[in-house]
A and B are shown apart, each in its own frame.
Chain A
Amino acid sequence: MSKKLVKAIADMQEESALKQVNQMMADKVEPAVIMDDAMEAMEIVGQRFEDGTYFLPELMLAGEMMNQITEQVKPEMAKTPVTEPKGKILIGTVAGDIHDIGKNIVSFMLEVNRFEVLDLGVDVPPDKFLEAIREFKPQVVALSGFLTLAFDAMKETIEAIQGAGLRDEVKIMIGGGQVNEEINKYAGADAYGKDAMAGVTLAKKWIVAK
């Protein structure tokens, strides 16, 4: 598989990227493969942002390209015969935090990998998570947060889940920005993921194991 798509996104060639996605879809390339390329490109964008080659505008454009590619790929996914969804995952950015670029990528990668995902959006208070756990009955809860202040909200959310007697019903993963093992312990989650693929790997491991 050529890496034209990776290069187009990473180099901010929006038109060429979208054309490439169309071409790949016409060639019956699997959505998961297309998204893998898009993810690889996002990683390059992230690196270029951190080393100062790119600025916020590129991050915006990349986020926008991801959205558009998602929109293009989604209908195709709906068409391909679905094997039983692998399991249910509840995801959201915790209270006080409204960063959602990273969470959206995780959410979409989980969908591409055939999980049923309920995305509660941003600034989600603990109560909303509780309500959704009761109704949607996910096996996995995924919390995203980019502000260090959000690490407190993650902790509070997990404590609320514990307090409601639901902690044993779900596995909890966290991620976003500076989340690491220390934060994982602080928040009381089961594991953290450094990127969307790590999230998918965790979900696969947990849901098969259940």
Chain B
Amino acid sequence: MSAERTKIIACSLVIEEIVPYLPSGMDCQTLDSELHVNTDVLRRSLQEAIDASTSSAEIILLGYGLCSQAVVGLQANGCTLVIPKVDDCIALFLGSEEAYKAQFKVAPGTYYLTKSWIESGRSIFDEYNILVDRYGESRALSLMRNFLKHYTRLALINTGRHELEFCRDYCLRTADRFGLRYEEIPGSSSLFERIVQGPHDNDFVIVQPNEIVTFRDFK
């Protein structure tokens, strides 16, 4: 895999984890995480970014997962596509799909946060502030508690690369306010490193040039 002929297109929530491993000469493009709000919009944006890259690259890497099937249907003209074989970015931060599934066994009612999620200002707890502005503190709190009624845990994923003091403070305060148990869980950089440096083993979906990404590729 020649770095010059490889390009990575990644979500703004994961890019800072990938950059430390980026081989010199590899082209890198970031797409706004906000696109996730609508699966069709995300799919269209990814396809456009891919189409704009196929003439200069031979391999296109996606810093995404299945992401609500937003990647299903994508196709790269004349290029190989490589995508981590995970459901979403939480598995990326945890280092593997197995680690993600193991967390589900521990506590399915977990809200996951990462440094990037907290900094993006787009987690559900940021939206809470919109609620307070609109409906006042007590109504907001009751709405939010209701919304989170099946949640037991707030987990901060530590990939080991960052100073997390302010994240811990933020999570502790947030967990306390909404009656959740706070836990810091170990993440991993393994998938972030391997997406750009290889090897692209069984943990990755490899889509041959002009083939279409399918749901089955991920399962």
> Within the complex, what minimum Cβ distance (angstroms) separates B11 from chain A?
16
B124 and A56 contact, CB distance less than 8 A: yes
A202 in the interface (beta carbon within 8 A): no
Q: Per-position contact with B for A73-104: 1 when CB-CB < 8 Å, else 0?
A: 00000000000000000000001111010000
B87 and A148 contact, CB distance less than 8 A: yes
Stretch at the interface among B13-21, B141-149, B202-210: B141-149
B151 and A148 contact, CB distance less than 8 A: no
B104 and A96 contact, CB distance less than 8 A: yes
* Bound: A162/B139 CA distance, A: 46
> Within the complex, what minimum Cβ distance (angstroms) separates B95 from chain A?
16
Q: Per-position contact with B for A129-162: 1 when CB-CB < 8 Å, else 0?
A: 0000000000000000001110110000000000
Contacts across chains A and B counted by CB atoms under 8 Å:
67
Stretch at the interface among B48-56, B113-121, B127-135: B127-135
Q: Chain A contacts of B135 at CB under 8 A?
A: 61
A51 in the interface (beta carbon within 8 A): yes
* Bound: A49/B69 CA distance, A: 18
B interface majority secondary structure? helix
State whether A123 and B150 are in contact (beta carbons under 8 Å apart), knowing that A55-B127, A186-B216 are contacts in the complex. yes
State whether A98 and B68 are in contact (beta carbons under 8 Å apart), knowing that A149-B101, A183-B215 are contacts in the complex. no
A148 and B66 contact, CB distance less than 8 A: yes
> Within the complex, what minimum Cβ distance (angstroms) separates B101 from chain A?
7
A60 in the interface (beta carbon within 8 A): yes
A201 in the interface (beta carbon within 8 A): no
Q: Per-position contact with A for B18-42: 1 when CB-CB < 8 Å, else 0?
A: 0000000000000000000111000
> Within the complex, what minimum Cβ distance (angstroms) separates B82 from chain A?
19
Q: Chain A contacts of B100 at CB under 8 A?
A: 149
Q: Chain A contacts of B186 at CB under 8 A?
A: none
A123 and B109 contact, CB distance less than 8 A: yes
Instruction: For chain B, give the interface size range.
Output: 20 to 34
Q: Chain A contacts of B68 at CB under 8 A?
A: 148, 177-178
B219 in the interface (beta carbon within 8 A): yes
B136 in the interface (beta carbon within 8 A): no
B88 in the interface (beta carbon within 8 A): yes
A163 in the interface (beta carbon within 8 A): no
B108 in the interface (beta carbon within 8 A): yes
In the complex, which of the residues B38, B39, B127, B150 contacts A98, with contact meaning CB atoms closer than 8 Å?
Answer: B150
> Within the complex, what minimum Cβ distance (angstroms) separates B108 from chain A?
5
B143 and A64 contact, CB distance less than 8 A: yes
- Which 5 A-B pairs give the minimum distances between C-beta atoms? A98-B150, A96-B104, A56-B127, A57-B131, A123-B108
- 11 more contacts with CB within 8 A, not counting A57-B134, A60-B131, A64-B146, are A50-B38, A60-B143, A98-B108, A100-B150, A123-B108, A148-B68, A148-B87, A148-B88, A178-B39, A178-B68, A186-B219
